[in-house]
Structures are given as C-alpha cells and as structure tokens.
Amino acid sequence: MRNFISFYLLIFMCLPFISCKDDTEVVDFEVSEVEFDAKLRDVLSRKGFNFNEKGELICDNQVLGATTLDLSNCELTSISGLKSFTSLIEVNLEYNDFTVFNFGDLPQGIQSVALRGNDGITSYVGLISADGATPLCGSLTNLKLPYFAKWNTDVIPAFYQAMTNKCLVVMSDQDGNYTEYTVNRKVTDQLLRSYLYRNFPSVFVSASEIDVTKRITEGNDLIFLSQTANLEGVEYIFSNPGFRGRVDISGVKSKHYSMSYVKPSAGVSSFSISNIDTPLGMDLSSASSLKVLRVENNSSLQSVVVPSVILNDDVSETSIFDSEILISGCSSLESVSLQSADKGNMIGKLHFENLPALECLDVSAVEAVNTVVLTDVNSGIGSLLLPSELTAFLDGTGRFSSTSQIALCIDHPKASSFRNYCKNVADIIDVSIFLQIDFLLTLFSMFMPVLKYVFCEEHIFFSSFSFF
C-alpha cells in the first residue's frame, strides 16, 4: 500500500515538469519549395512573415492561417511564390507595377483579386485556356480590374463570358472608381464611328458600340485620316483577331492625336501611324503577319520591339520591298530592337530619322537590305548595333542583284564602321537627296492638301509618296 501511494505521489510531482516541457516545445514547420520574387519576399518579411537563410518561406501558423493579404502600393512586379499561402482567398494588389500578371502564381482557392491602378499590365496569363473556353482560375468570384484592361480584347472578355453568373468582374474608370465590366466599347467620334460601322459592321452591336468578343468577318483595310483628335474605338478594329489587312491611320500634324494603347492582331500585314501618340505603349508581339511598320511623329512612344516576322527569307516570289521599318520624329523614343529569327534575314528598308532620345538601336539581325537611313539620331546613343555582315545584296526591284549595291543616308558618327564596311563590299548610292525632296513635298502638301490626300465621302483617306 505504501509503495502504491508513493508511485502516484511521484507522478503528481512530475506533472508540472511534463506540462512545462510541452509548452515550450518548438514545432518544426515545413518550408515552401516555391521560389519567391525578391521584392515580394521583402514585402512579406516586413509584414511579419518568416523566411529562412535560403529565402524560403517558413509555412508556420501565420502563413497557413492567412486568408487575406493587403499587398497594395508595394511596387510589386511579380507575385511568384504567393501560391504558398494555401488558405488565401482574398488579395489586394492595387497600385503596383505589374506589366504581366500571372494568375497561375495565386493559390488554387483564391476568390478575390483587386488590381486597380496597375495600368501597366499588358498581358494576363493563367486566367483562361488558349482557346478561350476553359477558365484556369475558376475559383474566382470577384475580379477587380485596372482601367487598362479596357484594351484587352482576348483574355479578359473570354474569361468574362466563361464565368458569367460565377464571377463578378468590375473595372476601374479613369477616376479610379470601380464600375461593372462590359465587353461593349463606345466609338464617340461621329466621323470615325460612321467609317468603322460602314466597313466593319460585324463587330457593332449598335450604331455606336463595338462588342470586343465579336470577330471581324469583313476583308477591308483600315485606312483613315481623322479630322478630330478623338480616335477612341479604332484600336478595337486592328486588335480584333478577325482583322486581316493593312492599317494606315494619320492625323493632321498641327493637331494632337492619341490612341491610348496599340496592339495589332495577327492579321495586320502593314501598320502605319503618323502624328498620333500612344501614351500606354505599342505591343507588336501578336502581329505575326507584320511586314511593314511605319511610326511617325509619336511624342509619347518610348520603346519598340519589332517581331522577327518582318524579315523575309525568300525573295523568289515577292519583292523584298514588301518589308520595311520606318520610325521618325519620335521625340521620347529610347529603344528600338529587331528580334532575330532562325530563318529570314532580309528587309527592304531600315529608316530611322529624328530620334533625339534614342539610347539603343539593334537591327543586327538583318543580313540583306536595300536601303538604310540613319539621320538626326541621338549622337550619344549608348548602343548602336547595325548589320555586321551583309550576305546578300538587292536591286531596285527587291531581288538578288548580280552587282553589289546599297542605298545609304547615314550621318551618325557611331555608324562609320558600317559605312566603311559597305564601301568595301558594295557600291553606295547616296539617297539623301530623295529625303530632301520628300521633305519639300511634305512641306508643300501642307499648303496644298490635294497633293497628298484624297477625299472620299466625309472621310479623308491617306495616300503617301514613297521614293525608295
């Protein structure tokens, strides 16, 4: 009996120590294997979330229990790693610096995403399947879009239609207020509206509104000189996946014209805009048929990436002059680059003129060219990459020439090596005189518009001179 009592007394005396050991036990939490964007990791660290010395998120109770996150105004450019918050259902990402937003970086159960103020987003990834039929972020019940989403004509409209009655989609207006999203876009200018309605009726749902989910079925070019500064609505035509043909839009040089955002579709073969600003940028990544690019007098454009499809790989059937790059009078332009391709290295004309802010020009992918113009370009340019070796020369018809000739107008001090190379391998034709004549004719046409413009009904259709 005495031993029995002593046993229980021993257990009773040890209970406080056992309890104390349990209270101080350290739990060994798992770490996330998902790689985190460095800036996002810093933001989360400041908010009290823990990372180990390798930069891996420690998935403690704070992480596992987080259902909402406010990551607004954090200068984020990526949310890579955020899927580690497996319980997250709502995230505020307003007023950050995204250019590409990847919904695939969000946890599977996410229900609400706010993106107001991210007007730099030009691409939405992981939201809908490539065929536009299957939502890839089907858990969403609330999606708050930035104003810039107004110009997205593929991903957002497809998701909106696929998630009807399942997800509330709203979009910020210019004043920052959320309004219900719609696939209809107004064309406010009467003359432009009349022209577009007459030539592309398949996408109109009323006399003044375009439905961006409808596909253009007409085979008309878009050639228009506006008499008003309001071009709102025209971008929904050349960005439409059904559009096929040329785009040539001009404004009177003495007036201010603007198209907020430019993204030609795969069916655009020639894209030309003059005297028109594009304050939200120019995206040519979808222009898989582009052969001619002309941009003149655009004061807001800062960067141009020209797709490699503009280069030709065969001149046996068509003239190489079917392809050209002409960029002139863009006072804020800092960078122009031509993407290289596995095949295709020939182009008719490279023309860069009056670009005082240009810091980088890369057209080194070209191996055959007829005309190169480089004049009034920033003399202190940081990087100037012209063709280093020309493997073929072209005659005035754009076909291979038996005699080596190249037309040049180059006055840039950093292009001397290119000029010297051309002197050693080809006969140089000075085309500066043609540029002077073209300038005089342009000046003359300001006083005699009939020389350069042809009137058709209430619109003015553009027709420009070309010398080479």
Split into its structural domains, the chain has a count of 2
CA 283 vs CA 229, 307, 367: distances in Å: 22, 10, 25
Instruction: Let me know if residue 33 belongs to a domain.
Output: no
Residue with the bigger pLDDT between 318 and 313: it is 313
The pLDDT tens digits for 111-146 are 999 999 999 898 899 999 988 889 999 999 999 999
- Residues 301 and 435 occupy one common structural domain: yes
- Say what the pLDDT of residue 19 is: 44
- Residues 327 and 379 occupy one common structural domain: yes
Among 163, 180, 197, residue at a domain's last position: 180
Please report, in angstroms and rounded to a whole number, the separation of the first and last CA atoms in the chain. 116
Instruction: Let me know if residue 446 belongs to a domain.
Output: yes
CA-based radius of gyration for the chain = 30
- Residues 84 and 227 occupy one common structural domain: no
Contacts of 14 (CB under 8 A, 6+ apart): none
- Residues 172 and 235 occupy one common structural domain: no
The pLDDT tens digits for 283-300 are 999 999 999 999 999 999
- Residues 174 and 221 occupy one common structural domain: no
Give residue 23's pLDDT band: very low, low, confident or very high (50, 70, 90): very low
Among 126, 157, 180, residue at a domain's last position: 180
Tell me the residue range of the domain where 390 lies.
213-456
- Say what the pLDDT of residue 131 is: 86
- Residues 243 and 173 occupy one common structural domain: no
Among 162, 180, 198, residue at a domain's last position: 180
CA 139 vs CA 89, 90, 127, 131: distances in Å: 9, 11, 11, 19
- Residues 176 and 255 occupy one common structural domain: no
420-427: long-range pairs with CB below 8 Å, 24+ = 421/388, 421/389, 421/390, 422/390, 425/390, 426/390, 426/393, 427/403
- Residues 288 and 355 occupy one common structural domain: yes
Measured in residues, the chain has a length of 468
**3-state DSSP call for residue 55?**
coil
Residue with the bigger pLDDT between 158 and 7: it is 158
- pLDDT for residue 450 is more than 70: no
- Residues 324 and 416 occupy one common structural domain: yes
Measured in whole angstroms, the distance separating CA 185 from the mean position of its chain's CA atoms is 20
- Say what the pLDDT of residue 115 is: 98
- 0.85 exceeded by the pTM? no
Instruction: Let me know if residue 1 belongs to a domain.
Output: no
- Residues 253 and 395 occupy one common structural domain: yes
Euclidean distance between CA atoms 452 and 388, whole angstroms: 38
- Residues 220 and 168 occupy one common structural domain: no
Tell me which DSSP letter residue 399 carries: S
Instruction: Let me know if residue 12 belongs to a domain.
Output: no
- Residues 159 and 217 occupy one common structural domain: no
CB-CB contact of 171 with 146 (8 Å): yes
